[in-house]
Structure 1
Amino acid sequence: MAFVISSSGDWIFRFALPVLVLQLTGSAVSTALTYAVEFIPFVVIGLFSGVVADRADRRQLMIACDVASAAVVAGIGVLCLVHPPPGLVMAAAFLLGCVRPFSFPAFQGFISERVAGHRRAAVNAWVQGADGTLAMLGPVAGVAVVTLLGPTAASFVNAASFAASALLIAATAVVAAGQRLRASFAAACRSLVPDAVAALRMVVTQRALLWATVLLTLANFTFPAAAANLVYIVAGPDGNVPASLAVVAAAQGLGAVLGAAAAPLLLRRFSAGALMGAAMGVKVLALTLPALWPGVGALTACWFVVGTTTSTFIVPWRTYRQGAVDPEFLGRVVGLQRAIPFAAVPVSSLLGSWLVVEFGVAALFTAIAALQFLVWLGTRFSPLGRSEAAPAEVARAPVIPAPQPSRTGGN
């Protein structure tokens, strides 16, 4: 519930900042930079945040992240009231981005602590399906809020969603972490270097994890380059947001929901690697559509298929990783595998805006479809393409001691 509520505010907010900057500047580059700047903290502090997620109490860490995010987003809402310079808006977006790298590894570790191995595919599908549902409905609400009420209202709505999320996480039961000793934030800082080295060694020695890191980095030069420039592609340099923007973005959410619903069923028939390879191959075809037929119709079809294939990749990938990585190391591995691939997003966002302005939409999608073809080849023929969803020896391992009947809540 906390994830759904905070994510719903995010989907409204994702339209607020790019639209605000586009209205202030009329620049495709500035709009794309607003999208990209939120990913820079993942690169700078991604691994450190994973160490903290492993060492600290994950439940308390998620609460702290939501409270901090609510304060930052409310501050952005105040900035919107005074017609701020674009640089100040980007600085606020960067500050918000500094909080998020701590939340996601903690959330993934939280799932691994409280969900048995054989149920993780279903839980991952529920999480991805909820995100897809919000991706489908959020753009409609986001365009309505931004168009009718402006970025200020969108900011305060998102701040309220983070506050509600913090309250819901605080209402969850406190579950003992067995033999794991929770450390303070200062202790996590002191263990940064050895813990970071341990995570890096694990990724390098497990070839499927290494290939996934490389391929995810390359993949972030593909669709994210188009997503960062979607507002400019559809709205144009004047920043007038048409209803078709909501249709295109909502199509991705609908595809994500369908893909998330299908992924656990497909995992019963196919290996995780085969499913991930197929998803990357179909995404190549989707990205070629706007290159051949530029227009809202092709963009809508592309975004729908990308949403479907993203879910059918993410569910088996996260399920495999949760089984292959010891829960003690999961946070820092997740942090590492977000920090490195996300380094590509700011670059791809700016390159995408340059291609759109200088050569047009068709050139952008031709380039990213060619790169996506390389991602498919790597996924299909690498150890990642031969991976299984849940190694038996890991799936049988207990994650945490079973809660006592007298406790409230549970797994």
Structure 2
Amino acid sequence: MRGAPLHPLRAALFGYRLALEHEGYRRLWLAAVISRTGDTINFAALPLFVLALTHSAPAVATTVFAEGVGLIAGGILAQSIVDRLPPRRLMVGVDLARAAAAGLMVALPSFATAVGVSLLLALGTASFAPLSNAVVPRLVPDRALPAANGLQWTAGVLLQMVAAPIGGVLVNVGAARLAFALNALSFLISGFILLGLPNLSRVQAEVTSAWRQLPELVRAIPRVSILPPLIAMQALAALAVGATSALLVVLARDAYGLNGTGYGLWLSAIAVGALVGPLLIPLVASIPAYRVVSGAYVIRGLGDAGLGLLNTGIGAGLLLGVYGFNTSSGIVTYQTMVQREVPAKVRGRAFALLDIVWQSGRLASIAVGAGLAASIGIRALFVLGGALLILSGFLGLISLSSVHRRR
């Protein structure tokens, strides 16, 4: 006779404990926590440093653009290496390269260096992230996958709340170099920890040329049934959320009349919701993953449309809290679905390809969104973005359910 189901919180904690029982995963998680701490400090410090140095908003935008280009180029580069080389050696090498790049801002702090470092760090992140996601199923049992992904997501959100203010404070007190040094040090420590990972073999039994990796993935896409729907969903969703995420501060100021404190409370509502989200995973464990992921897109779309239609800042803040836990639970489920359903020999490249689609759509959305906001208004932009997200969710629900029925 089966016992009563665990309370969702106890079930989540049990999953976390199960994932952390495995030393390889503990090392991967700890390395990610440390390197993301440096990343987050740098994320806050670098634009503030550039703004203080140049007093130019276009200069800050240039560093953001360089980062976006680096993420796309890094995703393309990742296609040639993530499934071809042994994971431990590759991740340690990428961390050492990121440490060297971050160190340039300590040695030569300037606007030109900031642009170059933004590009280089993004190249490294775009190569490291898909490999890290792809290797998790090789370090924990299948039933611990949602918890393992949830732990990494939760750590990232907590660090945004704690480490980002540190970067801002260091720049404000004239210690920007210390912020950049902490970033470089975080990558060195992360690389040292990753040296203790199990010596996992490359996932390809037969190593092919780096130039053949992307064509092999393109040929594999039709054979991996969930990839075409996911690529279409990612493209539509990125076109929707790139602009709305970047222009949330404009909505807060122009449509709701909020000051900096009010906008900060909005961001806090998102963060609190994002922390709660992974704890809800046990509640949706019995629902097919494709329905959870598609539903998350639809709910986010309704939320963005609601932000465009509501009139009270408090109501919008509550909606953003819902957005936070909906997004986090959706992302954890999405990562787990890709890890389970994409074959190991192309899994790293699949994550990299999905990242390329997302980053390309996000940059295009930001570029178009600024003009649209000026022509149709910020509220209408959020309603339009919400409609695109809802369309993306229904597209995914229909196409992924069709894939599910054919099995």
Aligned partner of residue 53 in structure 1, secondary structure: coil
Contact 2:44-2:165 within 8 A present in 1 as well: no
| Offset from partner CA, 1:45-88 (integer Å, 9 cap, x none) | 424413311111111211111111122122234444xxx34x55
Shift of 1:260: 1.4
In structure 1, C-alpha distance between the alignment counterparts of 2:370 and 2:324, rounded to whole Å:
22
- TM alignment of 1:82-97, pairs within 5 A: 84-85=110-111, 88-97=113-122
Contact 2:277-2:328 within 8 A present in 1 as well: yes
Residue 175 (1) aligns with residue 196 (2): no
Contact 1:286-1:306 within 8 A present in 2 as well: yes
- TM alignment of 1:111-126, pairs within 5 A: 111-126=136-151
- TM alignment of 1:136-285, pairs within 5 A: 136-149=161-174, 151-170=176-195, 172-177=196-201, 190-193=209-212, 195-229=213-247, 242=260, 246-263=264-281, 265-285=282-302
In structure 1, C-alpha distance between the alignment counterparts of 2:333 and 2:286, rounded to whole Å:
12
Amino acid in structure 1 at the alignment position of 2:191: A
Aligned partner of residue 220 in structure 1, secondary structure: helix
Aligned partner of residue 339 in structure 2, secondary structure: helix
Match of 1:307 in 2: 324
In structure 1, C-alpha distance between the alignment counterparts of 2:250 and 2:50, rounded to whole Å:
11
Amino acid in structure 1 at the alignment position of 2:336: T
Pick aligned residue for 1:317 from 330, 334, 344:
334
Match of 2:12 in 1: none
Which ranges of structure 2 fall in alignment gaps of 5 or more residues? 1-29
| Offset from partner CA, 1:225-268 (integer Å, 9 cap, x none) | 233345677799xxxx94555544343332222111212x0342
Residue 331 (1) aligns with residue 348 (2): yes
Match of 1:100 in 2: 125
Residue 376 (1) aligns with residue 393 (2): yes
Flag the 1:21–1:367 CA change in 2: closer, same or farther, 3 A: farther
Flag the 1:252–1:273 CA change in 2: closer, same or farther, 3 A: same
Pick aligned residue for 2:154 from 105, 108, 129:
129
Flag the 1:372–1:51 CA change in 2: closer, same or farther, 3 A: same
Contact 1:57-1:182 within 8 A present in 2 as well: no
Flag the 1:99–1:274 CA change in 2: closer, same or farther, 3 A: same
Pick aligned residue for 2:358 from 316, 335, 341:
341
Match of 2:71 in 1: 42
Aligned partner of residue 271 in structure 2, secondary structure: helix
Aligned partner of residue 82 in structure 2, secondary structure: helix
Flag the 1:169–1:315 CA change in 2: closer, same or farther, 3 A: same
Contact 2:84-2:202 within 8 A present in 1 as well: no
Contact 2:46-2:114 within 8 A present in 1 as well: yes
Match of 1:406 in 2: none
TM-score, normalised via structure 2 length: 0.79
Aligned partner of residue 269 in structure 1, secondary structure: coil
| Offset from partner CA, 1:181-210 (integer Å, 9 cap, x none) | 696xxxx6x3422x2222122223334211
Contact 2:87-2:201 within 8 A present in 1 as well: no
Aligned partner of residue 239 in structure 2, secondary structure: coil
| Offset from partner CA, 1:255-304 (integer Å, 9 cap, x none) | 222111212x0342211011112211211122134323478656644543
Contact 1:101-1:335 within 8 A present in 2 as well: yes
Aligned partner of residue 80 in structure 2, secondary structure: helix
TM-score, normalised via structure 1 length: 0.79
- TM alignment of 1:384-399, pairs within 5 A: 387=404
Match of 2:10 in 1: none
Q: Percent identity over the alignment?
A: 23
In structure 1, C-alpha distance between the alignment counterparts of 2:202 and 2:185, rounded to whole Å:
34
In structure 2, C-alpha distance between the alignment counterparts of 1:312 and 1:351, rounded to whole Å:
29
In structure 2, C-alpha distance between the alignment counterparts of 1:34 and 1:179, rounded to whole Å:
35
Flag the 1:66–1:191 CA change in 2: closer, same or farther, 3 A: closer
In structure 2, C-alpha distance between the alignment counterparts of 1:100 and 1:178, rounded to whole Å:
20
Flag the 1:285–1:333 CA change in 2: closer, same or farther, 3 A: same
Match of 1:405 in 2: none
Shift of 1:124: 1.3
Amino acid in structure 1 at the alignment position of 2:153: Q
Structure with more contact order per residue of length (Cα contacts < 8 Å, sep ≥ 6): 1
Number of equivalent positions:
373
Flag the 1:309–1:343 CA change in 2: closer, same or farther, 3 A: same
- TM alignment of 1:351-366, pairs within 5 A: 351-356=368-373, 361-366=378-383
Flag the 1:139–1:146 CA change in 2: closer, same or farther, 3 A: same
Amino acid in structure 2 at the alignment position of 1:214: A
In structure 2, C-alpha distance between the alignment counterparts of 1:25 and 1:297, rounded to whole Å:
36
Flag the 1:25–1:222 CA change in 2: closer, same or farther, 3 A: farther
Give RMSD over aligned pairs: 3.3
Contact 1:266-1:275 within 8 A present in 2 as well: no
Which ranges of structure 1 fall in alignment gaps of 5 or more residues? 392-411
Amino acid in structure 2 at the alignment position of 1:127: Q
Amino acid in structure 2 at the alignment position of 1:192: W
| Offset from partner CA, 1:142-198 (integer Å, 9 cap, x none) | 44444445644432222222222112212x243343986696xxxx6x3422x2222
In structure 1, C-alpha distance between the alignment counterparts of 2:376 and 2:55, rounded to whole Å:
18
In structure 2, C-alpha distance between the alignment counterparts of 1:234 and 1:328, rounded to whole Å:
45
